[in-house]
């Protein structure tokens, strides 16, 4: 039986997912996280929200793979837009992920680099191809780009520009890169999808709250269509 893991950072990000699938059969409380288990078309689907931040997301992704045997991982949630062509409600496919808050440049390394790793972690091309096909069939515009992750909510124009200048990022959030690192380490394909909920500037805190629910719903609808293709 195929096993797919779906992760969001917040409860609000997985609530629409749980509503889209049949009633969950059971749930497991592990490491402070509740993992929902669903059998859907002869496939096991495991859904959880990690809590905010890279550490929590890494724990959840590792648990999905090591405890529940997930063979593919999809992360779905919201993000702050950095590129001018990204508007609130747009869907963004993360082709590469980086950690904008990693800095050991004092030792001559580039920003975002960790020894025995690399600045950018690529997501799985086969899953990304499915995402593109779903967008095409749904008549949706799916934008693509680099997503930068860090343990800070970005809400200043200066920091926003710094991330753009140093990483060429299209969007910023707080979990995706850690999920990508975990999946890359265990050779598990991953896909990172983000709905743009704010512009990561001085009004970010206001627009984030306002558009969280609608953005999360849009992402959940898209992931459901991806799962239907995978199963």
Asked whether residue 203 carries a pLDDT value surpassing 80, the answer given is: no
pLDDT at 18: 92
Domain limits at 34? 2-230
Could you tell me which of 193, 190, 194, 179 has the C-alpha nearest to residue 99? 179
Kindly report, residue by residue over 67-119, the tens digit of the pLDDT: 999 999 999 988 889 998 988 888 999 999 999 999 999 999 999 999 999 99
Kindly report, residue by residue over 28-37, the tens digit of the pLDDT: 999 999 999 9
Catalytic residues: 13, 198
Asked whether residue 230 carries a pLDDT value surpassing 70, the answer given is: yes
Kindly report, residue by residue over 216-226, the tens digit of the pLDDT: 788 889 999 99
Kindly report, residue by residue over 127-160, the tens digit of the pLDDT: 999 999 999 999 999 999 999 999 998 888 899 9
What mean pLDDT value characterizes the chain?
91
CATH number at residue 185: 3.40.50.1580
Total number of domains in the chain = 1
Which of these ranges, 13-17, 60-64, 123-127, 180-184, has the smallest mean pLDDT? Answer: 13-17
pTM of the model: 0.92
Cβ–Cβ contacts within 10 Å for residue 151, how many? 15
Q: In whole angstroms, how far apart are CA 70 and each of 27, 150, 182, 229?
A: 15, 25, 12, 17
């Amino acid at each position: 039986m195929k096993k797919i893991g779906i992760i969001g950072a917040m409860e609000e990000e997985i609530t629409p997912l749980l509503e889209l699938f049949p009633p969950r059969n059971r749930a497991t409380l592990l490491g402070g996280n509740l993992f929902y288990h669903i059998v859907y078309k002869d496939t096991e689907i495991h859904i959880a929200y990690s809590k905010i931040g890279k550490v929590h997301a890494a724990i959840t992704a590792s648990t999905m793979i090591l405890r529940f045997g997930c063979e593919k991982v999809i992360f779905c949630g919201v993000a702050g837009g950095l590129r001018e062509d990204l508007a609130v409600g747009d869907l963004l496919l993360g082709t590469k992920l980086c950690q904008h808050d990693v800095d050991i440049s004092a030792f001559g390394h580039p920003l975002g680099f960790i020894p025995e790793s690399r600045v950018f972690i690529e997501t799985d091309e086969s899953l990304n191809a499915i995402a593109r096909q779903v967008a095409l069939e749904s008549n949706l515009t799916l934008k693509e780009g680099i997503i930068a992750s860090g343990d800070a909510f970005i809400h200043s124009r200066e920091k926003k520009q710094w991330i753009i200048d140093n990483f060429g990022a299209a969007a910023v959030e707080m979990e995706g890169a850690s999920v990508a690192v975990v999946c890359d380490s265990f050779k598990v394909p991953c896909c990172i999808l983000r709905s743009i909920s704010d512009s990561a500037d001085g009004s970010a805190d206001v627009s984030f709250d306002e558009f969280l629910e609608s953005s999360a719903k849009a992402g959940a609808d898209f992931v459901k269509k991806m799962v239907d293709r995978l199963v």
